[in-house]
Amino acid sequence: MKRKQLWRVLGTGCLAVSLLASPMTGLSALAAEGTPGDTPDTPTEGDGTDITPESGSAMGLNPLQKAKPAVGTEGETGYQPPVEAYTDTKIPVYGFTEDSTVYSVDVEWGAMTFQYENSTWDPEHHVSKPGAGWQVYDSVADEALEETEHTINEIKVTNHSNAGVWATLNYKGEGAYTGIKGAFTYTADKHENVATALTAATADGSVPAYLTLTTANNNKGENGAGKETVGKAYFMPTNPDTNKGETAPSDIEKWTQIGTITVGIKTEEPKAATPPVGP
C-alpha cells in the first residue's frame, strides 16, 4: 500500500531554498497496513522518484520490494545488476541568491509660513490696491518675500538607499480652510547640484506630484563609494481663481494652521490606476 507525504520548506532572507520531499517513514507499519493480494510494482533498472517543485509528488516508488539477484555475468550481453530492496530517492533542491535592498531616506522642510495680502496701501494716492495674494513669509525678518522658492517653503528629500525611490507630495487644506489649494514647483536653473526630477500632479488629482530619486549605489564617490541623490520641491498656496467663483481668504489669524503637506516614500513610480475593463 502506498502513502505519500509532502513537506514544503521555504527559506527567507538573502538565500531562499525550497525543499520538497516525499519521505517514506514507518516502512514496517505501512507494510502491515497493506491489503492481502496487493501486487507490488516491479522495479526496473533506474527506478526512482521524479519530483517536481510544482507538485512534489513521487512517481513510481515502491520501497517494499524484495532484493533480486543479478541476472547473468557482468560484462556479458543481457546482464542485469541486482535490484536493491529500497530504491534510492533523488530529491532536487532549489535556491537562488539576491542582495538585500536597504531603504534610507531623509526628509527635511522649511517653516512653511505664508501671508495672504488682500490689498496693499498706496501712500501716495491714499487708496488700497489689489494685493499680491499668497507670499512666503519670513518670520525672523517679519516681512513677506517676493521669492516663491526659498528655504522657508522648501522640501528636501535625500536618498541613501541602494535602490531608487519616489517621494510623493500631497497638500490638503485643514478645518475651515479646505478651499485653499496648493502646488509644488522646482525651477532647475535657480538651484545648484540638485538632481531633481519633479513630476507635476495630474489635473484630476489621480496622481500626486512626486520627486524621482535614483539609487545611491552609483559609484561616483571616492573609493568606489556611491553618492546620495537629492530632490527638492517648493510649496506655495495657490491664489483663488475668481473666474471660477473662488474667494480670497480673510480673517486668518497669525500662525493659524491652514493645511498639511504629506510626503510619502514609494518604491514604485506613482501611476494612474488602470480603469476596469467591461461594463
Tell me the pLDDT band of 132, cut-offs 50, 70 and 90: confident
The confidence score (pLDDT) of residue 13 equals 37
The confidence score (pLDDT) of residue 16 equals 36
Place of cell 510623493: 168
Tell me the pLDDT band of 224, cut-offs 50, 70 and 90: confident
Kindly report, residue by residue over 35-55, the tens digit of the pLDDT: 444 444 444 444 444 444 454
In angstroms, the CA 234 to CA 151 distance is 8
The confidence score (pLDDT) of residue 217 equals 92
Q: For residues 223 and 194, which has the higher predicted lDDT (pLDDT)?
A: 223
Is 256 in a helix, a strand, or coil?
Answer: coil
Terminal C-alpha separation, the chain: 54
pLDDT of residue 27 exceeding 70: no
Strands (DSSP E) along the chain, which ranges? 7-10, 15-21, 93-97, 105-109, 114-122, 127-138, 143-144, 154-159, 165-173, 182-185, 198-199, 209-213, 229-237, 259-266
The set of cell numbers assigned to 275 is 480603469
pLDDT of residue 17 exceeding 50: no
Kindly report, residue by residue over 250-272, the tens digit of the pLDDT: 889 999 999 999 999 999 999 87
In angstroms, the CA 27 to CA 54 distance is 26
Asked which of 26-30, 61-65, 224-228 is least confident by mean pLDDT, the reply is 26-30
Kindly report, residue by residue over 57-92, the tens digit of the pLDDT: 555 555 555 677 888 888 788 888 777 666 678 899
Mean pLDDT over the full length of the chain:
77
pTM (predicted TM-score): 0.64
